[in-house]
Amino acid sequence: MKIKWYGHAAFRITSDSGRAIITDPYTPATSGYEPINETADIVIISSDNDSYHCRADLIPGDPIVVNALALANDGGYSVVRNIPIQAIQAMEALNHREHDPDQNGLYRLEVDGIHIGHMGDVGNPLTEDQLRFYAGIDILLALAGGHPTIALDDLKTVIDRVQPRLVIPMHFRTLRYRPRNTFWIQSFLNYFAPEGVDFPCTTEIEISKDQLPPKTRIMVLTHAC
């Protein structure tokens, strides 16, 4: 399996068979990241009302679009093109500094036997139900920039409880990211020992189930866009 980080909360996950899933595509003009020009078989969005997380219409080709919030409201489970996808309701920060908080969805999927959790756009401590939702995941795509998403103390609680074998941070401040309301990655990395953090200096990694670390490590990718 390959995992590529475009920027913000957008990834491309490609199975060994070539099935491609893109998560939470952004609006280039507002995010500051370049357009995503690669195709996908499936696009998962955490909601349909946030231009930083919902621009499936900008992805080339003819992907099936899965709205995680809608899925959470309709049983919470679906198999799309042989990819199992689960979702649970979440909310933006209840103390959002710019607008009233919107609902969105946390989601997880299974690719090549690896369970991947995406944190959508949640802005509050996870509930017990949400923590149980992530039980058994191997890789967590984690919101690492602080407000308006989950506070870093609360994110560390998620990681300690869920114990994913690999954490890939997202949604943090970069030189490309236009808004200036999030933390740089170092604020998140301060919670971890340096020997537990990897910088592969690449936008994409290739990993299999048997290559996952035995206990939690952090892997910081370079944004592709």
Whole-model pTM? Answer: 0.96
96 close to 123: Cβ distance less than 8 angstroms: yes
Phi-psi region of 163 (alpha: psi -120 to 50; beta: other; left: phi over 0): left
pLDDT by residue (tens digit) across 23-66? 999 999 999 999 999 999 999 999 998 899 999 999 999 999 99
Quick check: helix, strand or coil at residue 198? strand
List Cα–Cα distances, 41 to 20, 64, 171, 194, 205, in angstroms: 5, 6, 23, 37, 19
69 vs 101: CA distance, rounded Å: 14
In order of their start, the domains of the chain are: 2-219 (3.60.15.10)
pLDDT by residue (tens digit) across 101-119? 578 999 999 999 999 999 9
Mean pLDDT, the chain, as a whole number? 94
In the predicted model, is pLDDT for residue 69 greater than 90?
yes
What confidence score (pLDDT) does residue 94 get? 58
Of the candidates 49, 155, 121, 133, the one whose C-alpha atom is nearest the C-alpha of residue 86 is 133
Read off the amino acid at residue 110.
E
Name the pLDDT band for 100 (thresholds 50, 70, 90).
very low
